[in-house]
Amino acid sequence: MNYDFSDKEFTLFVEIEALIGNFAKQTDSEKNDPALSEKNTRKALALLSQTPYLKLGLENLPDYNGLVTLMGAMEVVAAASPSLFLSIETSARIFGRILSAWGSDDQKAKLLPALLNGQIVGAVGLSEDTMNVENDPLTTTGTAHHNQVTISGHKQYVINGPVADWFAVAGRMDGKNVLFLVKKGTEGLTIGEKAATLGYEGATISKILLENCAIPADQVISPKNDNDLLATLRLWENQILMGASLGLMKRAFETAKTYAKSHRTGGRPIIAYQEVGFKLSEMLTLFQTSQLFAYRAAWTADTEPKDAESLTLCAKVFCTESAEQVASQAMKILGGSGFLSGNPAEGAFRCAKYGQIAGTSTEISRVKIGDFALGSMK
């Protein structure tokens, strides 16, 4: 286990920070405006395609330490703009990993280069209309006839729904869990309006409805071990939510630190008050512990995949719950200005809630971690 980043990795982080950090500062990437979100997502993907970032986790890049490098790089992107991060990761890392892990050679050739060049945006429909896939089987179904498959189902929350060119839709066909690749504009695919959300307002989220939506049969992805499909998608989602949490903590911590040094009251900067320093030290402890936990989970997913699920759930709970605590402490340091809309600390606080309910929620994670612990005690 070595989580020290190499010079090449640091160079990559600096490059990403320069590209996406500067872009996020120039554009209002957290603004609730669907047209702007689409423009920003496409531009951000194009910028990142100039670096190896979009390929991390999808390809074996010898200069980098797999998912550990990815975790470090995700922190940089999420700290620059949480909303851009969510859109980019859904497209490159979840839609992209679906293709790279399970796609046929033809499917990969058709979509992966364009995805990794930032020319197309992907979205993933997993959660069904009225239930959580953790508890119930998928209800979206595909029926094959001749060279076509007709899909019916509703997906309640789809990140990038209003802006995506391609959707990977999870469903059942011939008694198996599969993914249907559906192109925007396909007859029978209806995209809902952008939903208003508590956080990540600059990302687009909508329902998608599939009503007798016919796709060519070669647009079905059928993983060999279909029983692992949902758990694998959740694992990838949980990794992204850890990266998001690290970025939110960095954003909140840096904002609070800068403010504590510059804001004066009682004739001195507030950092001179010991209680403010204690808050910063608690925040930094949670942030750095989360980093180590996330790196270890990432390293285990690369090296000992069979041990990764339980460790990732532990790390995901720790990182996502810490993100809320760190953002909350940052808001206290910012005083009244922390309560005003639009500062990075209150934005991080709102976004942190998403990490706790999405992927494997904190509650479901705790149940599963307990099950793993009991299993290992047998």
Ligand X SMILES: Cc1cc2nc3c(=O)[nH]c(=O)nc-3n(C[C@H](O)[C@H](O)[C@H](O)COP(=O)(O)OP(=O)(O)OC[C@H]3O[C@@H](n4cnc5c(N)ncnc54)[C@H](O)[C@@H]3O)c2cc1C
Binding site for ligand X (CB under 6 A): 90, 124-127, 132, 134-135, 157-159, 197, 205, 354, 357-358, 361, 363-364, 367
- Contact in structure between 243 and 316 (CB atoms under 8 Å): no
CB of 358 to ligand X, least distance (A): 5
Rg from Cα positions in the chain: 21
CB of 265 to ligand X, least distance (A): 37
Nearest to ligand X of 136, 218 (CB atom): 136
Q: What are 169's strand-pairing partners?
A: 125, 180
* Triad 339, 345, 349: Cα angle to 5°: 85
CB of 134 to ligand X, least distance (A): 6
Nearest to ligand X of 240, 298 (CB atom): 240
Nearest to ligand X of 63, 371 (CB atom): 371
Nearest to ligand X of 332, 353 (CB atom): 353
CA 219 from centroid of its chain's CA atoms: 24
- Contact in structure between 96 and 115 (CB atoms under 8 Å): yes
Nearest to ligand X of 206, 255 (CB atom): 206
CB of 126 to ligand X, least distance (A): 3
CB of 153 to ligand X, least distance (A): 11
DSSP secondary structure letter of residue 196? P
Nearest to ligand X of 271, 324 (CB atom): 324
What DSSP line would sit under 87-154, residue for residue?
Answer: HHIIIIIIIHHHHHHH--HHHHHHHHHHHHTTSS-EEEE-SBSSS-TTTS----EEEEETTEEEEEEE
Residue located via tokens 């006839």: 145
Nearest to ligand X of 19, 351 (CB atom): 351
CB of 264 to ligand X, least distance (A): 39
Exposure b/e, 35-61, CB count within 10 A at least 16 = b:
eebbebbbbbbebbbebbbbbbbbeeb
CB of 128 to ligand X, least distance (A): 8
